[in-house]
Structure 1
Amino acid sequence: MAMTEETTGPAPVAEAGAMAAAAELFHSLGDPSRLVILQHLQLGEHRVVDLTAHLGLSQSTVSKHLACLRNAGLVTVRPEGRASVYALAHTDEVVALLGAAERILALTGDAVTLCRLH
């Protein structure tokens, strides 16, 4: 009897390789300042100077966080005069992801806070 996908299941996938993009996405969300930036951008577009004032961080630090979020495809940028204006990309999906994280933290927050492995 010939083995087919129907009898053996789907072909094995290199799970680590398949999850690399997801791991990079979560890595880009792994800094509290980047999460605050994403939350602040839910209110609308902002310039770096606006985010700097809101976060109390240096311009270079905010710019590095925005570059990370932009490279991950989570924010967009457009020029406006001499400034760059940032906005959420995929707004509905990013808001849903942040909302899901809040719901999971409501269920597991103590466990996450007490986890010494990360």
Structure 2
Amino acid sequence: MAMISDRVGPNLDPAAALFHSLGDPRRLAIMQRMTLGEVRVGDLAGDLGLAQSTVSGHVACLRDCGLVQGRTQGRSVYYSLARPELMNLLAAADALLAATGSAVTLCPSYGIAARQHRQDHATTR
């Protein structure tokens, strides 16, 4: 049985993995903050109001995906976007969201209400 990506053209699995890695609001917030320049995990945690362990896990995910890189200086590691193309991708996402208005936010499968429903369901287990 052929996969969908085999029928529609080139393998779309890498693109799907990229968008999945960007699919968490906390990872997007981390990357958005990195558009301003290098930052340490502790500073990200303070800026975003998240636990340092949470930020570390998300930064590790982004680093493993090749989206973020670290530079060691003394005992600190400063993280930044690994590719300048990410700035264009984030800007394009902002433009697309502005153009679609609330359609994405209200999407019954992936919008805010759907995410809240999944979170509520996960906490009642």
| TM-score bin (small chain) | 0.7 to 0.9
Note the residue ranges of structure 2 that are not aligned, 5 or more in a row: 111-125
Query: Percent identity at matched positions?
Result: 54
Change beyond 3 A, Cα 1:115–1:89: same
Amino acid at match of 1:46: V
Q: Which runs of 5+ in 1 are unaligned?
A: 1-12
How far has the Cα of 1:109 moved from its partner?
3.1
Higher-Rg structure is: 1
1:99-114 matches, cutoff 5 A: 99-114=91-106
Structure 2 residue 88 is the aligned partner of structure 1 residue 96: yes
Alignment TM-score, normalising by the size of structure 1: 0.82
Runs of 4+ in 1 over 2 A off after TM superposition: none
Give how far 1:15 is off. 4.8
Q: Matched residues in 1 for 2:82 and 2:7: separation?
A: 27
The equivalent of 1:62 in structure 2 is: 55
Quick one: distance in 2 between partners of 1:15 and 1:63? 38
* 2:69 equivalent in structure 1: 76
Letter of the 2:104 counterpart: V
Matches within 5 A, 1:1-118: 14-15=6-7, 18-91=11-84, 93-118=85-110
Query: Larger RCO: Structure 1 or Structure 2 (Cα < 8 Å, ≥ 6 residues apart)?
Result: 1
C-alpha deviation, 1:55, in angstroms: 0.7
Mean CA deviation greater in 70-79 or 95-104: 70-79
Q: Indicate the SS of the match to 2:66.
A: coil
Partner of 2:114: none
For the residue of structure 1 that corresponds to 2:102, the secondary structure is helix
Question: When the two structures are aligned, how many residues end up with a matched partner?
Answer: 105
What residue identity is the alignment partner of 1:110? Answer: S
TM-score by length of 2: 0.78
